[in-house]
Structure 1
Amino acid sequence: MTKSARNKTIDFPLADAPAGVLERIRHEGDQLSALSSVIDQTINGDAFRILKQLPDQVADLAIVDPPYNLDKKYDGLNFKKMSDQDYQAYTQRWIDALTAKLKPHASLYVFADWQTSIALAPVLASNFTIKNRITWQREKGRGAKTNWKNGMEDIWFLVRDQSNYTFNVDQVKQRRQVIAPYRVAGKARDWQETAAGRFRDTMPSNFWDDISIPYWSMPENTGHPTQKPEKLLAKVILASTNPGDLILDPFAGAGSSLVTAKKLNRHFIGIEQSLLYTAWGEYRLQQTKAGDDIQGYTDGVFWERNTRAVQQAHRRNHSNNPAD
């Protein structure tokens, strides 16, 4: 069936992979022990085996989005729900494989749903310092007749050394529209007035309600069943790395973290078991260059959801008044 011209979803089969995509992908049988052979690369294969081959102490940040403890199909690979004890053992396995690859000052962000979080928390706490549990609003999802709809997911913010880690708070403030502006002596107090409207840049909290799940008309959308939005990943990357740092993602899926890292001038190493998802991610990387747009993040500002028109007005005004 032919897609609508507005449907931007990346979901081609391997047989139709664009030229140069499959050839660019590395595999677990390749030589992976030198940083020069894996930096800014996608690697297809089992994360536990590949991590053993990577050089040690290379990553400034790990973004870890493992299968949640649910029955789920991923490109024909079935993940079966485990007991909490077995899932904790699985978590400890990837932690053991990953930790040596992290620099001493590295941070980690681990994704989970609420049920998975219950099992995750004690294992994460025994290996790292938990700095926070972020909850982000996932506005899509099916309702339930006998329970509350699951509209939230968790991100655990962890550090190896609680006295030495990166956190760039000014990079991740959220711009919110001011509804009731407060003035002192006739001047704006803690907000700014621009041609695009009245705004306040607020300190980031551990509740994120400004994230849109990728959908069919967004260029970042793929056929991956649990894809994370680039805007969400941009917050993590900007807060906990600096330009030129390296991000390691051992469960890279369709490459969203890698694409976002490239857009934000960071290096990356991505590992993904499914060759199909790896191909989608590699295709996205080949279409991406540093500085490319991230939906919802404009001119260094994170905007509230559904404010595209306001963002565009701000960008026009900002380009006409560079000193604004």
Structure 2
Amino acid sequence: MDARTNSLPRYVLTLTELAQITGEPAARLRKRISDDGLIDMGGRGFGVRPEAVRAELSRRGVSYDFGILAHINLKGGVGKTTSTITIATRAAQYGFRTCVLDLDSQASASMAFDSLPEEDEPIFYDIWAKPADMLPGSLKKIDDHLWLLPSSLENGLLDASLTNPKHQKRAVRGVCEQLKHEGFDLVLIDCPPSLGTAVISSICAANVIVIPVAGDPFSFKGLDLTLGEIEAICETYSLPHPIVKVLFSRYDRREKLAAQTIEKLAGPYANYAVPVHIRVTTEFSKSLARGETVFAHARKSSAREDYDALVRHLLGIDR
């Protein structure tokens, strides 16, 4: 077999991983997938291009219907950006045409992908009013099936430009509808840690909201405030309630606080709790230092294992 080796993407699912997910022998998958769908990775075996992964998972009932997932917590430092970019890269590997919408004026997601906008390049602040005209040329390609609308400090001015409630309701939704028109399946929104218009508009647009918590009291205060705001905003704008997921994003079983957090999540937040905890590891910081996520390599780690389980839970990818 002479599988293509050119234009190697950074984020690629291995044939072995696809076999484990589907429960089908790797040799049978390799025989069925065309040469164009495989990447010869040398001594590391074969990778499977996102289009070929998508075809295999679609055959098994995985839905690629359009979705908007926002990471929100009114407290900072709980892992919103890490979750956004890590989920995005794994979703792209699973064949979802994915766009990260960076709305945080600190632009952490944009910096993580080494894709800060140039001074004259448009961001959300510039395009929300005319997404059909400005969005296509504003996106930055990160990898196969993965794009980014970057952010900068100017997004902090959204509170001044989105004073009209009608605009708050439509701004993010309008951009996401244009992304759907452009052929994307999944939009992941990285929100700032405050109740500004960017967060309000994201709540109006999202069909799934993930609220990461780190286990400390301030995280849960942020959780309660976020849940209350979701309820109030949906009522104010007469919108259907999004699916809300609470993610324990800083799990360290050595800490007493971790057990207390799990107990809390199993109690009053049981209806929201994700059945996956993200374990604390240095893999995240090491990957970010390289300008990538933990899914840039196939090396086994708790970070890859936890986020893969989370992505499969959120996107319905199960055997």
Q: In which range does the TM-score fall when normalised by the shorter chain?
A: under 0.3
- More relative contact order, 1 or 2 (CA 8 Å, 6+ apart): 1
Please tell me whether Structure 1 or Structure 2 has the larger radius of gyration of its CA atoms.
1
Going by fraction, where is strand more abundant, 1 or 2?
1
TM-score, normalized by length of structure 1?
0.27
